[in-house]
Amino acid sequence: MVSSLGNMSEQKTITVALTGASGMPYGIRLLEILLKQGHRVYLLYSQAAQIVAQQEMALTLSPRPKETEAFLNGYFNVEPGLLKVFGREEWFAPVASGSNPADAMVICPCTMGTLSAVAAGLGQKLIERAADVMLKEQRKLIIVARETPFSAIHLENMLKLAHSGAVILPANPGFYHLPESIQDIVDFIVARILDQLGVTHTLLPRWGCDA
C-alpha cells in the first residue's frame, strides 16, 4: 500500500481519537497511513468504539492500552515507538496538557455525544480533554462527524466548534472520482483529513490534474 501514501511528510505528532459512531474504517485507515508515513500517533478510543470496531471490522481493541499498542504495531507492520495508546482516564498522557500538545488532533469517527461534550468544554474523559487542549492552544482539531440526519442541536454544536477554530469534516464522501470499491470511498474521506493535516498522499488524484 506504499503507493497510496505519497512522499514522506515532515514528522508530525497527531492525536487520533476513535469514538462509537459508525465509520470505523475511516479512523483505522487514517491510523494506518499516519504510522506508515512515520508520524507519531497518540491513539485514544472510547468503550463504544471498541464495540463498533468489532462490529464493522472484526477488529478487537483491548481495554488495556498496551495490548492494543502491541497488536496494532503488528497489524500495520510498523516499528514500535511511533504509536502510543492511552486509556480513557490516563490523565498523565501528553495529550491532557497544553504544555505538551500534539500538532493536531482528529476525532474520527465522532459521535454527536462526543461532539456535544467538546462543544460544551467538558473534560470528563481523555478524548474530550485532549480536544479542549487543541482548541485552547489554537492547534488544529478535525472532527469527522458521522450521523444522519443532523438535528438542530447537532448543527448548533458544530457551528459553536467551528467558531472556536475546529474543522468540521463530515464523513460525506463524494463520487466524482468514480469509486470502484468501499476502500475507494473510505479513502476519499481520509484524503480530505490528510489534506487538513498537511500530510502528503496519493489516495486520490487532484481536481484538474491527470490521474
Bind-site residues: 20-22, 46, 111-114, 146, 176, 192
| 106 three-class SS | strand
Query: What are φ and ψ of residue 117, in 5° steps?
Result: -65, -40
Q: Please, which residues have CB within 8 angstroms of residue 97's CB and are 6 or more apart in sequence?
A: 133
Q: Please, which residues have CB within 8 angstroms of residue 191's CB and are 6 or more apart in sequence?
A: 201, 203, 204
**Binding annotation for dimethylallyl phosphate:** 176, 192
CA distance 126 to 110: 14
**Binding annotation for FMN:** 20-22, 46, 111-114, 146
Which burial class, exposed, middle or buried, applies to 73 when counting CB atoms under 10 A from its CB (0-12, 13-18, 19+)? middle
Contact 188, 173 (CB under 8 A): yes
Closest C-alpha among 174, 172, 166, 181 to residue 148: 172
